[in-house]
Amino acid sequence: MSHCNCCDCKNEHCECGCEGVSVMPRLNEPAPAFDAITTHGNLRLADFEGRWLILFSHPADFTPVCTTEFLAFAEIYPELQKRNVDLLGLSVDSVYSHIAWVRNIEEKTGAKIPFPIIADLNNDIASTYGMIMPGESSTETVRCVFFIDPKGILRAMLYYPLTTGRNMQEILRMIDALQTTDEHKVATPANWKPGDKVIVPAPKTQDSAETRMKEEYECVDWYLCKKSL
């Protein structure tokens, strides 16, 4: 089966769902390209090359949970910028609706929304990224977060239902974990946060398993060793 970018239910060679929903993108593969109309003008995925990109979708403008999320994304925006990360929102609303909503948020709360928002009126990007889950809603995007690295590779994704606002600390933690993995070639354990010990890659041969316990790591056993950075 080939991996189709857009749903074609009549094409037996495509592995995709029906009702306009394509399969989800895959980790460690190039993120699907896009050329989008946004509140900051036209933007393509290629425009973000050399920086990390967090692409997130929300169900609809002028809705309560989404408004709390936009305020929360605006709050962590400086932390993302420090980490070389750009932020890009998306929903299937029009660019006029996005502009009216961010102006309303600023008027009512004083908070400026500093990042662009894609107006994906035809669901083009929503379907290539698998953002629509008909079990949740056939017309709105669910709360997705895609972490795309400076080479355009999709490195992580989070999916939340319509009723659950996202955890910004987890989004920052994910970026910190991915960047730590890239820089130090290590993995990060459950509940890891910056400053905690990291996991040394497990030995892949019997010989290296033998020597691992003699190395200066903190080991539970040969396959689970941690070190400080």
Rounded Cα distance between 62 and 166, Å, is 17
Nearer to ligand BEZ, 55 or 66 (CB): 66
Across the strands, what pairs with 15? none
**Residue 66 is a catalytic residue:** yes
Q: x/- string (CB under 6 A) for ligand BEZ, residues 141-170?
A: ---------------------xx-------
**Catalytic residue selected from 16, 66, 144, 225:** 66
Q: Counting contacts by CB under 6 A, is residue 65 touching ligand BEZ? A: yes
> Can you tell me which residue has the tokens 């991996």?
3
Q: Which two tokens stand for residue 194?
A: 């910056």
- Secondary structure (H, E, C), 141-197: CCEEEEEECCCCEEEEEEEECCCCCCCHHHHHHHHHHHHHHHHHCCECCCCCCCCCC
Q: Tell how far CA 89 is from the center of its chain.
A: 11
Pick the closer one to ligand BEZ by CB: 65 or 100. Answer: 65
- Asked if residues 60 and 28 have their Cβ atoms less than 8 Å apart, the reply is no
Q: What are the strands of the beta sheet with 198-199, ordered from one edge?
A: 198-199, 224-227, 218-221
Is residue 58 within 8 Å of residue 126, measured between CB atoms? no
- Out of 41, 64, 78, 195, the only residue in the binding site for ligand BEZ (CB under 6 A) is 64
**Residue whose CB is less far from ligand BEZ, 54 or 66:** 66
Is residue 59 close enough to count as binding ligand BEZ by CB under 6 A? yes
Q: Which is nearer to ligand BEZ, 61 or 86 (CB)?
A: 61
2 token code pair:
């080939």
Determine the Cα–Cα distance for residues 3 and 26; give it in Å rounded to an integer.
10
Stretch that binds ligand BEZ, among 59-67, 73-81, 87-95, 201-209 (CB under 6 A): 59-67
Cβ nearer to ligand BEZ, comparing 86 with 140: 140
Judged by CB under 6 A, which stretch of 23-31, 58-66, 92-100, 172-180 contacts ligand BEZ? 58-66
Nearest to 159 by CA among 170, 151, 149: 170
**Among 60, 72, 100, 168, which residue sits at the site for ligand BEZ (rule: CB under 6 A)?**
60
Closest distance to ligand BEZ from the beta carbon of 120 (Å): 16
Q: Binding of ligand BEZ at residue 66 (CB under 6 A)?
A: yes
Identify which range of 61-69, 97-105, 122-130, 221-229 contacts ligand BEZ by CB under 6 A: 61-69
Active site residues: 66
Instruction: Catalog residues that contact ligand BEZ under the rule CB under 6 A.
Output: 59-60, 63-66, 140, 162-163
